[in-house]
Structure 1
Amino acid sequence: MRISQLWVYPVKSLRGCVVPQAMLTKEGFYLDRRFVLLQPDEENPGHWKHMAVSRISQMVLFHPSVSGDRLTITYRPPGSAPADPQTLEVPLEPENLAQLRRVDVNMHSSPTKGFDMGEKYSKWFSDRFGFKVILAYWGNNPRLVLGNLPGKPTTQGPKPKNAFTKVMSSLPIIGPMLEEDDGVIAFNDCAPYLVITEPSLADVSKRLPPGVEMDVTKFRANILLKTSDPAWVEDFWGELAFGDGGAKILLTGNCGRCKSLNVDYNTGESGTGRDGEVLKLLQKDRRVDQGTKYSPIFGRYGFASKESEGMVLKVGSEVILSKRNEERTRFYWPGLST
């Protein structure tokens, strides 16, 4: 196998950036999901909730790009002229974090802290969405993975901490040492990495009307692999080895898909376009994980091995299946799994 595409998503749920190479970190590719958009939580006044394409389909109209130390976000509503872009520049590594307001971020019952980037950025997004929006930066505040972890049963998340461990974990230097063995992520959903294959993508295209190919960007993968294997063999993959440097990704769980697949990326509307019913088409035969039995499966979640942190993956590099599972893993995440 070989890597055919690599993707990073600087702002969760906005479009991604295809890149020629990407560095592995514990929380995901460098720059991946380092920002998140927040909106007021109507059910909990005074709190914020993260924005997602499944609920706010117009998020696909925002196009990020990375150049040097800057992130440029371009808003392209339907009918807009390419010669008159609406853009916002964001520093990839904001300075003076201590001067930014800290904000609570709770994604899928895994809480963390973010840094409110300020009124300039909030206003730009708020004006385009039509409601109050905050752009928050992760600031090296990782979230715990509550579900499938490498080397642990699929129904077991992190071990509960006793009172002493909780106190020590809050200390700036000692805390990260105690968390070393726990899976952590930034603003990713359930794992740092998501791997998909070209044959499975082609199988989805076969379900669509003649002449229509499935848009790979809708699956929001980090790694797309070119392989001669048939579709869906990745369901049983346990570990991948990359190139000659020893980089490995440990695959732990399946990715259950939601109605975000039905969003038309040209209009920002849900359930339109020639592939607007793709979720329904996949539900016919891809509900293969009892841990998420109502959702079709496409792709595998994974974690970089500890030895791989800091290594760089490149498009075109060879990939070897270094471990295969005898059975499909079962997805687990409190509140999400069935």
Structure 2
Amino acid sequence: MLQLSEIWIYPVKSLGGIALQHSKVTDRGLEHDRRWLLVDENDCFITQREHPKLALFQPEIAGDFLKISHKDVQESVAVSLFPVLPETTTKIKVTVWEDVVAAFEVSPEVSDWFSSILGFNVRLVYMPDESLRKVDPDYAVSPNNVTSFSDGFPFLIIGQSSLDDLNSRMAKAVSIRRFRPNFVFSGGKAYEEERWEEFTIGTLSFYGVKPSGRCVMITVDPESGTISGKDPLLTLSKYKTKGNKVIFGQNVIAQQQGSIGVNDVVKVQKRI
């Protein structure tokens, strides 16, 4: 039996993740997942690829607020989980890969807090509901498929068996946190999720649309915020490639909205 074993969200892109027992599935990803983003002075997104120390920021949900702390800083900040664009605030256009997305700055004070820790100027921005970022049309199930500030798709699923197989090939095991999935499931064969076209989690239906290409970001140790070496990217590159991409996990689009929870049964209806 396949069973959902972990649920993860990453409210601020490229910061730490939050493990949940239950979550809401929305049209653009799990509720609160990657709705916030740090941008530089050119309003371009920043990530752990260039700034691995971003891993040291840890968000948590505290009532109706997202509290963000840093491992080396005593002070934390909190922002509303449901921010509203003030009438006097102008939306800004931020760049995420090839996409330009309408967003708004959460507050100058919060941006200053991040800037002081990072040592360069950034702004924390939020994607409002009316801002619709389309997924790659080559892999969309519908022309209306959208995502948040994720790299390209609303959800990522990885099997625990896949991680176990990868770790068996390396001198030092890594945690699932390296790969930033939304869904982790137990049972089944290693890497089978990469062949899933249609599946359900609990009562909700999903489409597997594209194996996830991996980059240097998976070499960042989430505990120390440093690049820990060439693994796991190097090991994956020796046996898990598609074209010129290293792959691990499956990108996913939801067919419907609703709620899911840890221990929900996963059923595969169609495989490649």
Q: For 1:196, which of 130, 154, 158 is the aligned residue?
A: 158
The equivalent of 2:20 in structure 1 is 19
1:38 aligns with 2:54: no
The equivalent of 1:314 in structure 2 is 261
The Cα of 1:151 is off from its aligned counterpart by 4.0
The Cα of 1:150 is off from its aligned counterpart by 4.2
Unaligned runs of 5+ in 2: none
Q: Secondary structure at the match of 2:44?
A: strand
The Cα of 1:218 is off from its aligned counterpart by 1.0
The equivalent of 2:192 in structure 1 is 233
The Cα of 1:147 is off from its aligned counterpart by 4.2
- State the Cα RMSD in Å: 1.5
Q: For 1:143, which of 109, 114, 133 is the aligned residue?
A: 133
**8 Å contact 1:195–1:302 — kept in the other structure?**
yes
**8 Å contact 2:211–2:251 — kept in the other structure?**
yes
Separation in 1, partners of 2:261, 2:135 = 26
The equivalent of 1:335 in structure 2 is none
Q: For 1:268, which of 202, 221, 225 is the aligned residue?
A: 225
The equivalent of 1:60 in structure 2 is 55
- The structure having more radius of gyration, on CA atoms, is 1
Structure 1 letter corresponding to 2:38: L
1:243-322 → structure 2 map (5 Å cutoff): 243=202, 245=203, 247-272=204-229, 276-287=230-241, 289-290=242-243, 293=244, 295-305=245-255, 308-309=256-257, 311-322=258-269
**8 Å contact 1:240–1:250 — kept in the other structure?**
yes
Q: Secondary structure at the match of 1:296?
A: strand
Q: TM-score, normalised by structure 1?
A: 0.77
Unaligned runs of 5+ in 1: 41-46, 153-180, 326-338
* CA distances 1:74-103 after superposition (whole Å, capped 9, x unpaired): 1003xx7xxxx3311111111343333321
The equivalent of 1:113 in structure 2 is 102
Q: For 1:72, which of 60, 67, 73 is the aligned residue?
A: 67
Q: For 1:221, which of 156, 181, 184 is the aligned residue?
A: 181
Q: Secondary structure at the match of 2:189?
A: coil
**8 Å contact 1:23–1:30 — kept in the other structure?**
yes
Q: Secondary structure at the match of 2:87?
A: helix
The Cα of 1:129 is off from its aligned counterpart by 0.4
**8 Å contact 2:210–2:250 — kept in the other structure?**
yes
Identity of aligned residues (%): 27
